[in-house]
Amino acid sequence: MTEFPSTLENLIDKFAALPGIGRKSAQRLAFHVLSQSEDEVRSFADAIVSAKSSVHCCSVCQNLTEDDVCPICRSDLRDRSIICVVSEPRDVLSFERGKEYNGLYHVLHGVLSPMSHIGPEDIRIKELLVRAAEDEVEEVIMATNPDTEGEATALYISRLLKPFNIKVSRLAYGIPVGSNLEFADNATLNRAIEGRTEM
Amino acid sequence: MTEFPSTLENLIDKFAALPGIGRKSAQRLAFHVLSQSEDEVRSFADAIVSAKSSVHCCSVCQNLTEDDVCPICRSDLRDRSIICVVSEPRDVLSFERGKEYNGLYHVLHGVLSPMSHIGPEDIRIKELLVRAAEDEVEEVIMATNPDTEGEATALYISRLLKPFNIKVSRLAYGIPVGSNLEFADNATLNRAIEGRTEM
């Protein structure tokens, strides 16, 4: 016997297949499961199955939701003339926490990345163009991350939006509020000077 | 909306409750689950439930098994006169991989630890005493870890075994095979000198 019982080995394999979980961590997680009560274990398993079965993408903005159309897209209180394009569902939460933005969103579920073979067909660009064509959209804010792939994705999409005669903007770059100039990198400092505003 | 859909939040909570998994990792794991197929997700959930329901402790040695008595305790090929006492099921695997030891095991499922309020009643000491009284045991090897708690546990159990007139031994301390003296700590070096053998 140089292995744990097969059902336990199987569970360790499943945990080890999760991103960022190595063999040792997987073992620890499996032992943790064994140490829990039957009820706790069943509710963990149920949580996995029901998240998968009830969460899907909003048919409009592609954000994660349990409904056909998500609460933000359904809301009467949101400004429907403006769409903020983000790469991931968690980015929507970040903006919502800020309580400043009151428009709609569009979640791409990724960014263009030739290195990882992610092309325009692999992220939700087509769905954005459909909205640009149909809805009362006046402005699209590109809010992908300020890294190479995020920039390239923003540029690519902004070109596709040209024919729709919609204003396309990009989030401002600059010094983060509350940070220290000493720790700002050169690229950020240069962008902050370029984008300076009159006081 | 400053939260993900409730079933997704629930799944994130479950992952975050696992040992060593923070909030951000829990989110990543939950998104990974959403990105898998229905079948994969169901087989993950099944693995959790079936490991919990079919794995339990061997009624003799307390090692994890799917049977009432584990394959090692059942085997006719093992030396039943000797029991190796380890703290965790994974330690059994380590010895079995070594292919040298051919006796039986006893898994304590922990070590005595006053700091963590783990006393003699919380680990499988009673079951070991029952075996010492009933079985044809001639020697017990204490193979808990060579740290403070492992040492204290070995000492405590060896005293309990005194009345049974059984030989109690401890794993040898010394320089690990294939290692370099340069990297050996003082305690290990001192133990290696104390336990030196004639060539």
Whole-number pLDDT of residue A83: 94
Chain B 64-83, residues with CB within 8 Å of chain A CB atoms: 64-66, 70-72
Whole-number pLDDT of residue A134: 82
DSSP B169: E
For residue A16, what are its two tokens? Answer: 């080890």
Whole-number pLDDT of residue B119: 94
Whole-number pLDDT of residue A30: 94
pLDDT tens string A148-180:
899 999 999 999 999 998 999 988 888 787 777
User: Of A41, A55, A61, A122, which to mutate for an interface test with B (greatest number of B Cβ within 10 Å)?
Assistant: A55
Whole-number pLDDT of residue A120: 93
Q: A136 and A124 in contact (C-beta within 8 Å)?
A: no
Query: Which amino acid, one-letter code, is at A38?
Result: E
DSSP B21: -
pTM, two decimal places: 0.79
Whole-number pLDDT of residue B195: 79
pLDDT tens string B140-169:
999 998 888 998 999 999 999 999 989 999
**Is 70 exceeded by the pLDDT of residue A9?**
yes
Q: How far apart are CA B7 and CA A50, in angstroms?
A: 7
Whole-number pLDDT of residue B1: 58
- CB of A109 within 8 Å of any CB in chain B? no
CB atoms near residue A21 (< 10 Å) = 21
Parallel, antiparallel or unpaired: strands B64-65 and B56-57: antiparallel
H or E segment and range at residue B29: helix B23-35
**Is 80 exceeded by the pLDDT of residue A60?**
yes
Instruction: State how far the alpha carbon of A93 is from the alpha carbons of A64, A167, B3, B17, in Å.
Output: 11, 24, 6, 22
Whole-number pLDDT of residue B76: 93
Cβ separation of B34 and A41 shorter than 8 Å?
Answer: no
> What is the interface size between A and B, counted as CB pairs within 8 Å?
142
Q: B96 and A2 in contact (C-beta within 8 Å)?
A: yes
For residue B23, what are its two tokens? Answer: 């909030």
For residue A185, what are its two tokens? Answer: 């990198």
**Is 90 exceeded by the pLDDT of residue A186?**
no
pLDDT tens string A94-114:
888 888 889 999 999 999 999
Cβ separation of A49 and B66 shorter than 8 Å?
Answer: no
Residue ranges, chain B, pLDDT below 50? none
Whole-number pLDDT of residue A1: 58
* Chain Cα centroid distance, residue A110: 7
**Is 90 exceeded by the pLDDT of residue A136?**
no
Whole-number pLDDT of residue B85: 94
DSSP A120-175: GGGTTHHHHHHHHHHS---EEEE---SSHHHHHHHHHHHHHHGGGT-EEEEPPPSP
Task: List the single residue in B4, B45, B50 with the smallest CB-CB distance to A48.
Answer: B45
